[in-house]
A and B are shown apart, each in its own frame.
Chain A
Amino acid sequence: MAMDAGEIERLIRESIPDAKVRIDDLRGDGDHYAAYIESSAFAGKSRVQQHQMVYAALQGRMGNELHALALTTAAPKG
Chain B
Amino acid sequence: MDQTVNERIRREVTENDVVLFMKGTPVFPQCGFSAAVVQVLSHMGVKFKGIDVLVDPSLRQGIKDFANWPTIPQLYVKGEFVGGCDIIREMYESGELQELFKEKGVAVPA
Q: Which residues of A contact B (CB under 8 A)?
A: 47-48, 51-52, 55, 60, 62-64, 68, 70-72
Question: Contact at B64–A48, with CB atoms within 8 Å?
Answer: no
Given known pairs A51-B87, A71-B86, A72-B90, the reply for A62 and B81 (CB within 8 Å) is no
Chain B contacts of A72 at CB under 8 A? 86, 90
Question: Contact at A47–B70, with CB atoms within 8 Å?
Answer: no
Given known pairs A47-B90, A63-B64, A72-B90, the reply for A52 and B83 (CB within 8 Å) is no
Question: Contact at A55–B70, with CB atoms within 8 Å?
Answer: yes
Q: Which residues of B contact A (CB under 8 A)?
A: 33, 64, 68-71, 81-87, 90-91
Question: Contact at A48–B70, with CB atoms within 8 Å?
Answer: no
Residue of A nearest to B82 (CB): A48
Question: Contact at B83–A62, with CB atoms within 8 Å?
Answer: no
Q: 22 interchain pairs (CB within 8 A)?
A: A47-B83, A47-B90, A47-B91, A48-B82, A48-B87, A51-B69, A51-B83, A51-B84, A51-B87, A52-B68, A55-B69, A62-B70, A62-B71, A63-B64, A63-B71, A64-B70, A68-B33, A70-B85, A70-B86, A71-B86, A72-B86, A72-B90
Chain A contacts of B82 at CB under 8 A? 48
Q: Quick one: which of A48, A55, A68, A72 has the most chain B CB within 10 A?
A: A48
Q: Quick one: which of B33, B71, B82, B90 has the most chain A CB within 10 A?
A: B71
Question: Contact at B81–A48, with CB atoms within 8 Å?
Answer: yes
